[in-house]
């Protein structure tokens, strides 16, 4: 994907005029040119392709739509808003609630997928460094502004809402932002009948009653006992003062829940039978298509047809030049259209 320059736009415009069929041509991953432009955050290219009639409802083999791809590049709020304004206003609500394929990406909406990989938290593995907490919250607020929070009540492939995911990720900034936007989410059950507040309480309690770590012992058997006997008794007792000062992410999340529960008491919202069945059905789809579990007899014609389909599938799964090029240049996403640098290092408007 070229840098966002006038010459690149002229080239794309020429290709569209000379070969209109390429507008909806898909690569081996099922990406159209419009999806690729969204993946790299080339807003000017997106506008050109949409003006030329590119299909905005397209999805690739993993179930990603334009929003899924755009958010994977970690845009800043100032970059994302012009992009969202380009999309069809009638189609945009549908894009926000479209889930990826369960088998590939966990059946997530664009916001849920974005949160799962970028939520500011120290509890799990370090998050991408593209955002400060303030920049990340700006993106979240912008997405909620455009979606109206329609996806917040939805369950992902695991049967959890976005707030459940935030609590399990021990992300206090995200929990506060979501509850502040819609306090009733605290009382929304997931597919197994647990509310985010209950999850937060149980995790905080489990952390409090966690067994203390075993003192380290040298590997040398001759010194191990003597080293323990020679230690001061105070070394085996945790420092209560330090423990009180060191507040964990899990305890921060629980405090946020307590704060908002006091301000916004409400009734529990039960998970419906339809929602629970929907999650079970989508989980079952991972296994139902496997031919190895079929007990139906097959004839020679069926075997030939199946071999042909397998050959076609293997051919389609082979990454083509477009996919390889996209993967090798993934670091060049959401560049400033003036200086061609990433948004977090661009100084054009500072």
Domains and CATH numbers, the chain: 109-209+242-287 (1.25.40.20)
Integer Cα distance of 34 and 19 in angstroms: 15
Q: Please count the other Cβ atoms lying within 10 Å of the Cβ belonging to residue 340.
A: 12
Integer Cα distance of 64 and 99 in angstroms: 8
- Return the SS3 of 141: helix
Q: What is the pLDDT of residues 48-67, one digit of tens each?
A: 999 999 999 999 999 999 99
As given in the structure block, the two tokens for residue 206 are 């489990």
Across the chain, what does the average pLDDT equal? 81
**Half-sphere CA count of 209, side-chain side, radius 13 A:** 5
Q: How confident is the model at residue 126 (pLDDT cuts 50, 70, 90)?
A: very low
Q: Work out the percent of the chain whose per-residue pLDDT is above 70.
A: 72
**Half-sphere CA count of 259, side-chain side, radius 13 A:** 12
Q: What is the pLDDT of residues 185-210, one digit of tens each?
A: 999 999 889 999 999 999 999 988 88
pLDDT of residue 347: 61
Residue with the larger pLDDT of the pair 221 and 112: 112
Q: How confident is the model at residue 335 (pLDDT cuts 50, 70, 90)?
A: confident
- Return the SS3 of 342: strand
Query: Averaging pLDDT over each range in 157-171, 204-218, 271-285, which range is the top one?
Result: 157-171
Q: Residues 12-19: contacts with CB within 8 Å, 24+ apart?
A: 12/45, 12/48, 12/49, 13/48, 13/52, 16/48, 16/49, 16/52
* Lowest mean pLDDT across 189-193, 274-278, 282-286: 282-286
Q: What are phi and psi of 213, to 5 degrees?
A: -70, 150
- CA-nearest of 13, 65, 30, 72 to 334 is 72
């Amino acid at each position: 994907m070229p840098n966002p320059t006038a010459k690149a736009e002229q080239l794309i415009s020429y290709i569209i005029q000379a070969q209109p069929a390429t507008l909806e041509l898909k690569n081996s991953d099922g990406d159209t040119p419009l999806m690729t432009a969204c993946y790299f955050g080339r807003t000017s290219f997106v506008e050109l392709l949409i003006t030329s009639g590119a299909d905005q409802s397209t999805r690739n083999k993993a179930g990603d739509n334009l929003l899924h791809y755009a958010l994977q590049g970690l845009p800043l709020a100032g970059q994302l808003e012009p992009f969202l304004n380009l999309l069809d206003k009638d189609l945009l609500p549908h894009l926000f609630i479209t889930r990826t394929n369960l088998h590939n990406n966990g059946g997530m909406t664009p916001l849920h997928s974005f949160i799962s990989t970028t939520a500011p938290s120290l509890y799990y593995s370090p998050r991408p460094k593209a955002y400060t907490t303030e920049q990340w919250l700006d993106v979240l607020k912008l997405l909620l502004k455009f979606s109206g929070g329609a996806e917040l009540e939805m369950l992902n492939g695991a049967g959890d809402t976005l707030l459940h995911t935030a609590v399990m990720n021990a992300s206090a900034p995200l929990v506060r932002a979501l509850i502040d936007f819609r306090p009733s989410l605290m009382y929304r059950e997931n597919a197994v009948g647990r509310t985010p507040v209950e999850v937060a309480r149980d995790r905080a309690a489990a952390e409090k009653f966690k067994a203390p770590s075993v003192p380290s012992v040298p590997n040398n058997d001759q010194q191990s006992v003597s080293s323990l006997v020679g230690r001061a008794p105070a070394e085996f007792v945790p420092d209560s003062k330090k423990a009180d000062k060191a507040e964990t992410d899990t305890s921060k999340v629980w405090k946020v829940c307590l704060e908002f529960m006091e301000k916004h008491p409400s009734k529990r919202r039960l998970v419906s039978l339809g929602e629970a069945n929907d999650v079970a059905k989508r989980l079952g789809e991972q296994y139902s298509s496997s031919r190895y579990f079929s007990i139906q007899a097959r004839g020679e014609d069926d075997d030939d047809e199946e071999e042909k389909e397998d050959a076609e599938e293997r051919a389609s799964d082979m990454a083509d030049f477009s996919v390889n090029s996209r993967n090798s240049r993934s670091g060049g996403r959401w560049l400033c259209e003036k200086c061609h640098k990433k948004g977090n290092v661009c100084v054009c408007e500072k």
